[in-house]
Structure formats: C-alpha cells, structure tokens
Structure 1
Amino acid sequence: NDERCVVWKPTKRTNEIPTRIGHDVLARTELKLKTVLSEPVPSGWFAHYFDSDISTEKYKMDEFCKIFQITPVLGQRLLKYLLNFDYDSTTLIDGSDVIKIGYVLWESTACIKALILFEVFDEDGNKLITKNDMKIFYRNYFKDFNLPVADHESIINTILDTCQFNEDDVITFEHFHEILVRNSGPLNQLFKIPFNDKRPNDKKSKRFFSITYIINNLKRTVFLLFYVLVNVSIIIWIVIRRETVIYRVYSKMNGYIIVAKICAMLLCFNCSFIIVLMLKQTITIIRSSFLRYLLPVDDHISFHRYVGRFIAVLALIHAFAHIADFAVISSPYSWAQLMFTFLANQDTIVRGFAPLSGIVLLLITTVIIICSMEFVRRSGHFEIFYWTHLLYIPLFVMLILHGNDFWKWIVVPGTIFVCEKIYSIIQRYCTLYGKTYVKSVSIIESMTKTGKVESTVIALTINRPLNFDFKPGDYIFIAIPSIATYEWHPYTISSAPDTKGTLTVHVHAVGNWTNKLLEYYKRKMDNRNDLHEVTVLPVSPNQEENNKNKMLTTSAPTKILAAEDLLWIDGPYSSCARYIFDCQHVILIGGGIGITPYASILSSLMAQFRYQRVVCKNCNHVNYTHDFVDDRTLRKVDFIWVNRDIQSFEWFLELLDSFEQEQESYLKNCNDSKRFLDIHLYFTGNNESKSGNVPLALASSLYHKGSGEDIFTHLKSKTNPGRPKWNELFKQINESNENLAQENENNPKRDINVFFCGSPVMAKTVKLYCKKYTFKFHKELF
C-alpha cells in the first residue's frame, strides 16, 4: 500500500537495523514527496485557508513562521529541506512557495509528513538521525519555544535515552516512524496547519426540538412550554375580556389600546417572574432538595436573560402603542400635552402620571439592557453592569406608580426578595457569618514568553467566620472596602469545606476592580519588608520525594503578604457543582481560572481520602479503613484543565500533585481498587507556536515514557500541547466506562456528567460533543 510505511520492528535477539528495507521505504517515500512537490497546487486551493491569493506576495522569515505558527528553527529547516532554501536575514520568501509548503504539509499522506519531520532532525542530510542531530535541534527548539524548564540538557538526555538509538547511535527512517506511531499519536495529525478551513460544511443543521433533544432537556422543555402557555393564556384572557366586558363599557376603544393592554398585562407577569428567577437563597434551597429534579434551576440565569429581553420588546410595543393612540384619539389636548404632562388623566395611583412614568421606565429599561450585554460584562467593565443593574429599584417603584394592578403581581415574589435581601445584609455585616478580614494574599507571578514577570492571579486567604458553612463548588460575593466600599463581585471558593479557619478565592486580574485589587496589594508588598517569597513545590508523602520534585523553574516565586484588610462576604450560594457528589462518573472541565469550582471539589475529595488513612505507629505502613470508592456514589472523576500557557498550571499544581500522591498510596494499599482520578492537562500556547507543537509533542511523549513524569509540571499525568481533541477524548472516556461495565455484570454502565466552567466558545464545542456521546452537560453560571 503506497499510503503506508513499512515499520521497522527490532527482534528480541538483535538491535541491528535492516538497512536494505530501510532504503526501500525511504526511497519510495522520498519519490512520493518529490512528486507532490513537482505537481502544481490545484487551482483555487489557497482559497480554503487564505483570504486572498498570496502567490505574488513576499514574506520575511518571521512572517512565514507566523503563517504556519512554527518556531524559527523549525521554519528554517522546513525551507531548507522542501525548497533547498538557505535563509539569511535579507532573503524574502515567495508567496507561491508558502502556498506550496502549506499544500504539502496539509494534504500529504501521513508517511510523507513523517519523512518531513525526520529530515527536520537530520540536519546534515545523511538519511540518519544521530544523537548529536537531535540534541542540536532540541537545544535550538527549546530556546525558540521558551520551554519553561531550566534544565534543558537533562531533559534532552532523557529524550535521547528513550529513543533507543542503535549501537551506532543513529536512527533510521523506519525506526523514527515507529517512534512516531508509539509516542506521537495518529500520524495524520502531523503538521496540521491551524488555518480556518473555508470549504463548504455539509453537516446537517441542528435540530433543537428533536425527540432526542427534548428527552435530554426534559425539565428545560417543560418549563419553557409552561412559560409560553402562561403568556399565551394572558393574551387570550385580554382578548376575551375585550370582547365581553371592555367592549360594552368602552365601545370606542381602538386596536392600539388593545395591544397596549395586552403588553401591559404581559409586562406585569414577566416583571414579577424575573424576580423569581434571581432569588439566590431560594434557588440554593431548591438545589439541596428533591425539587431540583423537577425544576431547571441550573438555567435560572439563562431564563433571566431571555425574560429580560422579552420585557424590553414588550415595553417598546407597549410604549409605541400608547404613542400611536395619543396621535389618533379625539382629545382637546395636543399629542405633546398628553405625552409630557398629567393631562392624559389615566386612572393610576398618581392620576395622569402614566405617560411620564412610562418614558422614565423606557429609559431605565434601555440602560439596563444595554449595560447587561455580554460585550460590557466580558470586557473588564463588570462594575458598569453591576451599578446599572441596581436601577431595578427605581424601575419597580415606577412600575407600581405606573399601573394600578402591578402591586398585586409583585407582592409575593417582591416580599420574598426583600426578605432575602434583609437576611443577606444582616449576614454580611455580622462577624459570625460575613464580616471578616483578609488573612494573607498570594500574588502568583509567572514568566511571559519575552522573559517579563507578570502578576495576573491573586489568591486571597480569608479568615473563615465561625458560622460560615459551604459546600464544594459554592460561590460568594465579596466586597473589600479598601478597594471599593459598595462593589460586590462573585468568586468561587477554591478551598475545601474541610479546611478549618480559612477559605480561599482566586482572582484573575482582568477588569477595573480586579486590577485595583492587584495594584493595591502590590503597593503594600513594596512597602513591607516582612514578605515571604516562596516557590510552591508539589507535596509528596515523604521528604525524600519532596527533594526530588522540580517545578516550573522559570516561574518567579509566589509572594505572600500577611494582611488584615476588612472584607465582607455575601453567601454562600450554590451552583450546579453541588450535583457532582450525586453522580457516578463526572468529567470536570475548566478553562483557565474557571477551574476554581473543581479545585474545591478535588480538595474535598483529597481530604476524604486522608480521613480514611491510618498510619501504623510501629512501621509507618499506610492503610485505609475501608474502600473509599465503594462507599460513595461518585466512582470516577476525569479532570480536564485547559490553559493558555504552562505557567498557569502553578495555580493548583500543588493540589494536583498531592492528589496524585494520595491516589498512588491508596491504590498501592488497596489491591482491588480502580483509579479514581484521571488528570488531563492541555496548554494552547499563543498564536505563534501551535503548529510548532509537533516536535514538542514528540519530546513530551518521549520524556514522559522515559522518566515517568511530565516534562512541564513533573506530575505523573502528561501535559498535552494544543487544544483537546474532544471527540477522541470523549470517545476514550466513554469506551473506558463501557469496558468497566462489561468486566463486572453487577456494575452497570454509569451515566457520565460533564461539568464545565470556562469561555462561552469552548462551552459550545464541549456541549456539541456531549450531545454526540449523550453525556449530561452542566455549565457554571454566576
């Protein structure tokens, strides 16, 4: 088969490489590559990946590397091998050559791509990779890639030892191909160019209300249907009432008034219902009761947004209907007098105030809707969203004055809402529940690609009030008067409930308030001489392993400041993370700082592991009182963390390493037990290094195989460069779940629940694959 390489497999008796077969395979693959290079690129091929025809353009080396998202050393060697191109600082690369290389790297067979990578390592072109060839390449590559590990030489030596060079210290193409198959995944992923493929998509359109969708979203569908029916019933009731009662009394009532009255009644219902959707204390209670199986409480924020938009539409229709009515009715007053004075004389609480109050209501609604848009909330201006949302107070006051009957609709939800607010205010300023102080502050610093140290994450260790209780995954609102007295911001508690005396939140400095917080504590640190500078190392069960552990040694130390700033807590409030312990198999997915809810979950699970650990006083042997997994509903956790850069894993690296060590100890002493936690780490890097991940992925796999630990974090779990391949990952998890059920007839297949906290873009992708594999999807919303 000309699409497949003959793989060299060493025999048990000898490591001798079959030279004759090697030359045959190499020669055939080189011939196929020369054929591809000599053929013209299909007409219009560039349109799949480029915005325009770039064949007439000229590019510098850095621009060429940026197009293919590779490092300079990899770019130079690709040009040298594919085009016999000797690079110097003044040379420009033709756009037609860029298209040709793109076509070869994208469209070639896996065997040809393997040959290209082989020749990238083979600098002298003798068709063999020596130890020195690979060592020189990786020295330059790690330097270009800014691999955040100090001891590059020891890493390179481990990689070379794992490659199993023959007795002449060389690797042939067949052996190299075998290494790729074993360590670098499917060969067709080699040199995947991260362009946006603009070829037509033949996938069928999504069917949101298919039978499968309704079954998987039954609570949401029933609730939405109930909501629609209530609104339709109100419309029918207004129409019937108009035909029977209103028509007889006010026979001259025109169609504009009918539309205005329908919208008015719908507004009364929806403006009261939108309060119900944000009763945080009530929702927390529902999540802890059987009602969560009946009501879609996880969608309360989404429903709140939809109802808010519906209110905006109804308000506009209602306003324009009255404006049109004032223009056509027979009245001794002008249109302007009816609109902007009390002369309209409607029967309201304040007689004649309806037109003016309506204008004010329309303005308030417009401000709230605009300032609650995602581009405002996600652009670092959360305080704009927060302060404008407080306009709900004058909004509801004006609604009561605007219409005679609105108070009847709001009396019940409004009373509950006011009671919750009073309860919240009492708690937040009481020293037993919410009034506390910041005990210490950790500013986590990391090295950027340019070598600059930046601080973007602040870990606040807060003195835990005496009666403050919470569940793993809960979130709180915090206010620090020294930063802003009346601003409250939501953050997930990242520590476990089992931690006594303190609780921790991690703050990512991306907005105005968070940047003020960062600068405030930076100034305090600059003015203090008693700072503790520590490098956080993974914790192992014994001191000998602690001394062996290494960390991301290019990162700057974490600065810890003892502080006693006043802090108020509002909460805790629940999220969908409370369901995790009621599931059998969960996949926890976090993007960046979105991992904090699941850090609390893992901390709690690790504490439960340790509670059951018994250490013999005589021999220090570790044992466990009973089977940790079999005594609880939750049997398996897959932990997936996606970060933009390697340094971000420092935030909770100590926790992950501690859990790995604890799990290894547990498995060692409980022979029949299965792995409870699998860790999957990914870093996407920046836009200039994604396609250049091919040699890095190979180095990472070889190092992990040779040393038993990750090249970046030194965890036992491997860190993967690039974005997760969700389809392959979910398929692997699903097959593992099915195999476990087949091994034990008494162990039925477990439902898999996915819990996600991260960017909306990633959420859409994850949700799509959850539908494919019928995983239940839960998204954290605050």
Structure 2
Amino acid sequence: MGNWVVTHWFSVLFLSALAWARASARCLNFNSMLILLPVCRNLLSFLRGSCSFCRRTLRKQLDHNLTFHKLVAYMICLHTAIHIIAHLFNFERYSRSRQATDGCLASILSNLSHQEKEGDSWLNPIQSPNMTVEYVTFTSIAGLTGVIITIALVLMVTSAMEFIRRSYFEVFWYTHHIFIIYFVGLGIHGIGGMVRGQTEESLDESHPHKCAEFFEKWGDPDSHCKRPQFEGLPAESWKWILTPSILYIFERILRFYRSRQKVVITKVVMYPSKVLELQMNKRGFSMEVGQYIFVNCPLISCLEWHPFTLTSAPEEDFFSIHIRAAGDWTESLIRAFEQQHSPVPRIEVDGPFGTVSEDVFQYEVAMLVGAGIGVTPFASILKSIWYKFRNADHSLKTQKDGLKQKTFFGRPMWDNEFSTIATAHPKSVVGVFLCGPQTLARSLRKCCQRYSSLNPRKVQFYFNKENF
C-alpha cells in the first residue's frame, strides 16, 4: 500500500499534522535503534580490538560513545515532542470531524463505522460524538503506550542530568533501567492500528485519485465508487529495535556471567582523605593499561554497578582500584571495609572495558593530565612504564628538583607546557590524555588545536578524554 494512499484520506482530516507525526515517528524509530549500541561495552571493546590497525581518527570515534548516546537521546526527545504536538492537533481534528454535520468529506470519513466491514472499517477512532479525546487516549493501545513511553522518557532524561548523575548516582542508575518499559511500549505502540490505510480490495473499487471528488455518491447503486474500506497498518517500531535489543540482551547475559565469577580480595589499603585501595584476583582476568571495570557490592546493593579505573599494571599478578568517598555508595563501601572484626564484603566485577588510554603507547610522545581522583588511569600507565624499563638498558630523561619533600605545583601554564613539548618534539605525534572536568578539557582541546602544525609532517597534538 503506497504511502500516498495512506496519507491522502488522513490529510482530509488532519491537513499536515499527520505528515509531522509520521515523519517524527520514523526518526524516533531510527534513533531508538541507535540508542543502545553505544552502551554495549563489550561490543565496543571488540570493535576497539578489531580496529587496532585502523586509522587513529577512526578508533577515536569509539571513545565518544557516551557523547553519541547523549546526542541520540536529545534527538529522541526532540522527535517525541514533535510527535506528541502533531498528535494533539490530530486528536483535536478527530473530534472536530466527528462532530461535523455539514456533510463534508471529513465528516463522511469520520462517520465510516465498523458496520461496513465487520469490526474494522473505521478511519476515525472517535466513534461517537460523546466519546472524548481523553477516553480514546487512555483506552487505545497507541494512546496508552504513548503516555507510558513519554513518562519513562521524561524520568530517564531528567535523572541523567549531570548534577543528579554525580550527586545522586543511585537515582540515575535505577531510573535509567526503565528503558525496558520504553522499548516494550515502543514495540507495541503501533499494534492497535491507529493509523489506517485503505485495503487492497477497496483500492480497486474506490481509489482516492478517482473517487475523492464523488464522495457524496459513495454507495449509490449507479455510482462507480463504493465506500472505501480501511484497516490498521502493521506495526513497524519493533522491526527497528529488534536487532539492537537482541545485541543488548546478549551484552547483559555476558556481563552477568562474568560478574558471577569469584573475585578474591588479596589486599585492602586505607589512605588518608577517605581513599580505599582494593587489590584483587579473578580467574581469566586480563587487562590493558587505562581500562576500567564495573564493581558491585551485594552487601550494599545487588543492582548498583559503579565504574572504576584500574590502577594496577598488566605486568602485576593482581588488579587494583582506588575508591574515593564521593557519594552514598562509596561511603558505605569504605565503612564496610573499615570494620576490622567483620568478614570482608563480597565484591563482584564486570570487565575490563577499554578507554582512550589504551592507545597511550601508540603515540610517539604522551602527555598525561589528571585532576583529583582522575590520576588513577595514569597510575596504571606509569606502573607499566616502570615495569617495561626496570630490567631494560635504557637511559631515561628524568627531571629532579633535588628537594627532600614532595613538591606541590600550582595550576600549570598550559601554553608554556605545550610550547615546550612542541619545541622538544618538532616532528612527533603527541597524544594528550585527560581524566578530569570539562573546563580543563576545553582548555586542553584548544591548546591541542593551537599548537598543532598545519604541516602534517610536523608536531601534531591529539586530544583524548576519558569518558565513563
């Protein structure tokens, strides 16, 4: 059935509102298909490993998975708003056409009822002048699932705001899992057949191109045009989201399997400023520098998983993380390990997963910038470098200040730092790695652009930021 035929009769009732509703629905389906892919972390790790010999710019796109996830979410919100507004106009025109008594085409189409074809030949879901828009909204599959989808989307988006995500991670974590309701609702949204099209048999007898102008004679014995028959269009949303949903289900099964493997805590170290170090072992665990894991403590919550960067080196016979008290969950975890006469809490681990720091040894020169607890990804890198050079016969260029006490520097003068590196390595590719706040990221990104030479054979700075 052609889209033009579907749209023609509805355009009589809705004017251009149907086109807006259907166009935004297609965009919603497309973006809903994409939204799960950036959070399939095992898939991204596989692609990262497969692209190890690809161009650097191609591999770097995998590091923007969360940015892409957010952009797709914004597009879903935009097209949801367009879809809702368009259908508000549609329902208002549904009601107006049903109540019209002037014998116009819209009135006749709205009065086509189930009597023409057992139970299914209507075009306007408002079958009675006394039937309200609210009643149709909450009693039809399309209307009810639309309300549920919208509520789920609003809750997920509002709880994903940076302030809530950082200060109340539990709210973000639990609320984000109602995406299941969103996808189930989206999959069955079109089953009710609210948008309808003319049947194939009816097209032969009453094609809109030939019979739309003779609507007053529909059904007359001497008329060549009979009343058009309509049927609900098949649902399409489930076709868009089926494949990514299956991929995500396999992703979660793999995560669940790996998280159930036993983790042995070999050492617990408490540092000042409420920082906890956990050294662990796990069968079959293999890591690279800069990777991270998800950690769960069933004693605190069976459902909460928090990401932590690995601070150990691949050369060590254990893997470790450093946890700073920065919220309810981390504070509860530290308190649990501080209780000396209690059993060590059980820890579950999922991962490791790749980050931009994995590529640190792919650059001729690396510049590592960590702010606060953001130094943890680079602890793994520095340890690995130490192991690589421990038994090797290399001369290293080391800067020493000769002081017996640790030196605390102020905020670096980034222009001076970049200028010094550019002068010392005039023909090198420099990788700049950051784990820190957005304000610092903006400054470093501008410096990378400013000090990169237009000549590709001279110094080039590539900015890389950790994203969790």
Q: What TM-score results when the alignment is normalised by the length of structure 1?
A: 0.47
Distance (Å, rounded) in 1 between the aligned partners of 2:283 and 2:166? 35
Shift of 1:249: 5.3
In 2: Cα distance, 1:564 partner to 1:437 partner: 10
CA distance in 1, matches of 2:431, 2:387: 23
Q: Partner residue of 2:45?
A: 284
The answer to whether the aligner puts 1:308 opposite 2:73 as a matched pair is: yes
> 1:579 — aligned with what?
359
Matched, 1:364 2:158: no
Residue 320 (structure 1) aligned with residue 85 (structure 2): yes
Amino acid of the structure 1 residue aligned with 2:29:
C
Q: How does 1:544-583 map to 2 (within 5 A)?
A: 564-583=344-363
Q: Which of the numbers 603, 607, 627 marks the counterpart of 2:383?
A: 603
* 8 Å CA contact 1:475, 1:493 repeated in 2: yes
Secondary structure at the counterpart of residue 721 of structure 1 = coil
Relative to structure 1, the CA distance from residue 248 to residue 603 in structure 2 (aligned partners, 3 Å threshold; closer, same or farther) is: same
Quote the offset at 1:720 in angstroms: 4.8
Residue in 2 that maps onto 1:457: 275
Once the 2 structures are TM-superposed, how far is the Cα of residue 764 of structure 1 from its aligned partner? 1.4
In 2, the alpha carbon distance for the partners of 1:571 and 1:606 equals: 24
User: Among residues 439, 462, 466, which one is paired with 1:776 in the alignment?
Assistant: 462
Partners in 2 of 1:263 and 1:358 — Cα distance? 14
Q: Which residue identity lines up with residue 308 of structure 1 in the other structure?
A: A
Q: Give deviations 1:615-670, integer Å, cap 9, x for gaps.
A: xxxxxxxxx3xxxxxxxxxxxxxxxxxxxxxxxxxxxxxxxxxxxxxxxxx42xxx
SS at match of 2:282: coil
Q: Which amino acid aligns with 2:271?
A: I
Contact kept? 1:260, 1:321, Cα under 8 Å: yes
2:243 to 394, 412, 416: 412
How far has the Cα of 1:299 moved from its partner?
0.9
CA distance, structure 2, for counterparts of residue 384 and residue 439 of structure 1:
32
| Alpha-carbon distance between aligned partners in 2 of 1:474 and 1:373, rounded to the nearest angstrom | 25
CA apart distance, 1:260: 0.9
**Counterparts of 1:605 and 1:564 in 2: how far apart (Å)?**
32
Equivalent residue, structure 1, for 2:253: 422
Distance 1:712 1:512 in 2: 35
| Distance change >3 Å, CA 302–CA 310, structure 1 → 2 | same
Match of 1:261 among 12, 22, 38: 22
Question: Which one of 431, 434, 447 corresponds to residue 753 of structure 1?
Answer: 431
- Other-structure match for 1:440: 267
Deviations 1:190-232 (A, max 9, x none): xxxxxxxxxxxxxxxxxxxxxxxxxxxxxxxxxxxxxxxxxxx
User: Where in structure 2 are the equivalents of 1:197-346 lying within 5 Å?
Assistant: 242=3, 244-248=4-8, 250-254=10-14, 255-290=16-51, 293=55, 294=58, 296-329=61-94, 330-331=97-98, 332=128, 333-342=131-140
Contact 1:438 1:565 in 2 (8 A): no
Q: CA deviation at 1:401?
A: 1.2
Tell me how far apart the structure 1 counterparts of residues 316 and 447 of structure 2 sit (CA, whole Å).
36
User: What SS does structure 2 have at the residue aligned with 1:510?
Assistant: coil
CA apart distance, 1:440:
2.6
Shift of 1:248: 4.4
Query: Any stretches of 5+ residues in structure 1 without a counterpart?
Result: 1-240, 343-352, 446-454, 529-562, 614-623, 625-665, 668-673, 680-703, 714-718, 739-748
Whether the 8 Å contact between 1:498 and 1:604 is mirrored in structure 2 is yes
Query: What TM-score, normalized to structure 2?
Result: 0.77
1:383 aligns with 170
Tell me which residue corresponds to 2:319: 503
For the 8 Å contact 1:577–1:597, the answer to whether it is kept is yes
Among 394, 414, 421, the alignment partner of 1:726 is: 414
Q: Give matches, 1:634-645, under 5 Å.
A: none
Question: Residue by residue, what CA displacement relative to the aligned partner does 1:338-364 show, whole Å, maximum 9, x if unpaired?
Answer: 22223xxxxxxxxxx110110111111
Bigger radius of gyration? 1
Matched residues in 2 for 1:486 and 1:408: separation? 30
Q: Does 1:491 align with 2:308?
A: yes
**Aligned residue identity for 1:583:** Y
Q: Give secondary structure in 2 for the equivalent of 1:496.
A: coil
Query: Residues of 2 paired with 1:328 and 1:249: CA distance?
Result: 13
Structure 1 residue matching 2:347: 3-state secondary structure: strand
Distance (whole Å) between structure 1 residues aligned to residue 259 and residue 184 of structure 2: 25
Q: Map residues 44-193 of structure 1 onto 2, 5 A cutoff.
A: none
Cα distance per residue 1:681-738 (max 9 Å; x no partner): xxxxxxxxxxxxxxxxxxxxxxx4xxx13x542xxxxx35321111111111111112
Q: Deviations over 1:397-448 (max 9, x none)?
A: 1111113111111122221111111111111112xxxx21333321111xxx
1:394 pairs with 181, 192, 196, which one? 181
How many residue pairs match? The answer is 377
Q: Is 2:156–2:178's contact at 8 Å kept on the other side of the alignment?
A: yes
1:657 corresponds to? none
Question: Do the aligned partners of residues 678 and 507 (structure 1) sit closer, same or farther apart at CA in structure 2, a change above 3 Å counting?
Answer: farther
